[in-house]
Structure 1
Amino acid sequence: MAAHGVKTLIYSSTCATYGEPEKMPITEATPQVPINPYGKAKKMAEDIILDFSKNSDMAVMILRYFNVIGSDPEGRLGEAPRPELREHGRISGACFDAALGVIPGLKVKGTDYKTPDGTCIRDYIDVTDLVDAHVKALGKATPGKVGIYNVGTGKGRSVKEFVDACKKSTGVDIKVEFLSRRPGDYAEVYSDPSKINQELNWTAQYTDLQESLQVAWRWQQKHRNGYGTPLAMDS
């Protein structure tokens, strides 16, 4: 990028670089001890960027996303993973696939975590807020400096809460199968977004879980084949 004159880098990182911290909420100073390959790979990329930036005037912003959900409210963009990746996608995609009948039901892995209802707790950030965070980061990027920010709502919701919200947003009584834990998952992760609030003037606006899922569900219903020809829908 430097060789081709790129002056600004906004890097998509992840809360998975923190692993399973001892204290919540997670701040940017929380030690990064990833426990799965995804988190390790993202941390390695962060380390490379930080090493490079010591002798560069490139403006760098590292955004550590929490769990992204939702779709564009105007219906232009939605979540459409390649077929071979659907099974490994986000929980929202699995919920919608179950609601659409693409898969027979939803498999929830892990019900014995030390959380109020036994399922994992995550910080779900709407993709529209995430886009806004990128715009704010781009506007504040400074040559020769690195900014590191958590991008989340600051509120944790359990997988069971998420599934209940998905059932309500789709109107479908999704069949749920509870299974044993998946290796590499952590019990509870949610952000402290104070730094990005103060330094970039960014705050999550789309924080109603059910509303975010309803917006995404409308897109899924119109685009059952991903970005193929949209289906006509009654208003």
Structure 2
Amino acid sequence: MTATAPGKPPATPRTYLVTGGAGYVGSVVAAHLLEAGHRVTVLDDLSTGFRTSVPAGADFVEGRVQDAARWLDPAYDAVLHFAACSQVGESVADPDKYWRNNLGGTIELLAAMRDSGVRRLVFSSTAATYGEPVSELVTETDPTAPTSPYGASKLAVDHMITGECRAHGLAAVSLRYFNVAGAHFSPGAGAAYGERHDPESHLIPIVLQVAQGQREAVSVFGEDYPTADGTCVRDYIHVADLADAHLLALEAAVPGEHLICNLGNGNGFSVRQVIETVREVTGHPVPEVIAERRDGDPAVLVASAERARERLGWVPRRPELSAIVEDAWSFAQRARDQRATDRSGATR
């Protein structure tokens, strides 16, 4: 099937349900769908997302994915499923929450899709399904041995989707993200979509918080790894490139098949490279504090995205770390004002 190029008006506008569309990645994908001329409904319980992140032009339903059957009907052409709990540390402390929300919620969603006749799904999966990598360049055929309930719950959902495809003809694509960063700015609308996690656990926004003066320093967990500068190397992908892949996945989904694709740039950047890039982009000092290694942190974790290139026709358009950081910094500056608005009485 020929994929529609991201951002170009489709021959026929389609109608999509985006679960978790008030969160970081979900809001960016919802914005891309609208900009491509489609109709979008966002379903989100606002437990971690923000009402202000729902793109203008999207219909919004405040609710849980477990209750999707109330709103899902044959008018929808597909579901893009982002609603999930996603903090690794929290999943270790409260695994039941992750099994109930991530696995239990998807069980209910798949049943609602089956009952309503909606037969196309794009699922937000994760590199955490692989656990400790067996190679520096991770492929979809590598062993899956997640080390946290978060990764295990996502892997369980992938297995469940595979069964749904085989038994009931669902057309599904799971996209396994590596390190997503950056922000999306809607052309002409003045709207911006980026990371607003509370608390923040991702490296680039944490380093930007140091540049903004919200943190005193960034912790570098280990500087004795077998890498060029002794710090961990990770694969960073621009969130707008990630969104492009979701639109392509909608067109590439085949009835009865569950396609799983890694999403990454195929090259890595070290912790120190990220910190130095933030210094260059922002013009601010970023103090470092050396800390002990964290258990389970591999030296290098980089994705092979060859399958996404071959099956989806997807090529990252913003692979440079500087471009990712520049967009994340622009959003971080805007987000300071947005946080003040949220805390002064606006809904999340």
Question: Shared topology, TM-score over 0.5?
Answer: yes
Length, aligned pairs only: 226
Secondary structure of 1:54's counterpart equals helix
Which of 195, 201, 221 does residue 79 from structure 1 map onto? 195
Which of 94, 103, 124 does residue 206 from structure 2 map onto? 94
Correspondence 1:18-167 to 2 at 5 A: 18-74=130-186, 76-82=192-198, 85-86=199-200, 89-167=201-279
Higher relative CO (Cα under 8 Å, sequence separation at least 6) belongs to 1
Secondary structure of 1:189's counterpart equals strand
Q: 1:72 to 1:53 in 2, by over 3 A?
A: same
Q: Give the alignment's TM-score, normalised by structure 1.
A: 0.89
Q: Give the alignment's TM-score, normalised by structure 2.
A: 0.61
CA contact (8 A) 1:62 1:149 kept: yes
Percent identical: 35
CA contact (8 A) 1:223 1:229 kept: no
Q: After alignment, is 63-72 or 163-172 more displaced?
A: 163-172
Q: How much has 1:196 moved relative to structure 2?
A: 1.0
Q: How much has 1:228 moved relative to structure 2?
A: 5.4
CA contact (8 A) 1:169 1:211 kept: no
Q: 1:114 to 1:137 in 2, by over 3 A?
A: same
Secondary structure of 2:115's counterpart equals coil
Q: How much has 1:158 moved relative to structure 2?
A: 0.9
CA contact (8 A) 1:69 1:124 kept: yes
CA contact (8 A) 2:165 2:255 kept: no
Q: Establish whether residue 185 from structure 1 lines up as the match of residue 297 from structure 2.
A: yes
Q: 1:36 to 1:188 in 2, by over 3 A?
A: farther
Q: How much has 1:110 moved relative to structure 2?
A: 2.1
CA contact (8 A) 1:80 1:226 kept: no
Structure 2: segments with no counterpart, 5+ residues: 1-111, 343-348
Q: How much has 1:213 moved relative to structure 2?
A: 0.6
Q: After alignment, is 39-48 or 209-218 more displaced?
A: 39-48
Give deviations 1:70-107, integer Å, cap 9, x for gaps: 0014452121113xx22xx2111111111111111111
1:51 is aligned with what amino acid? G
Secondary structure of 1:111's counterpart equals coil
Question: What's the counterpart of residue 221 of structure 1?
Answer: 333
Q: After alignment, is 147-156 or 178-187 more displaced?
A: 178-187
CA contact (8 A) 2:205 2:328 kept: no
Separation in structure 1 between the aligned mates of residue 115 and residue 232 of structure 2, nearest angstrom: 43
Separation in structure 1 between the aligned mates of residue 125 and residue 300 of structure 2, nearest angstrom: 18
Give deviations 1:132-153, integer Å, cap 9, x for gaps: 0000001111222111101110
Query: Which aligned segments of 4 or more residues in structure 1 are displaced greater than 4 angstroms?
Result: 227-230
Question: What's the counterpart of residue 198 of structure 1?
Answer: 310
1:106 is aligned with what amino acid? V
CA contact (8 A) 1:25 1:189 kept: yes
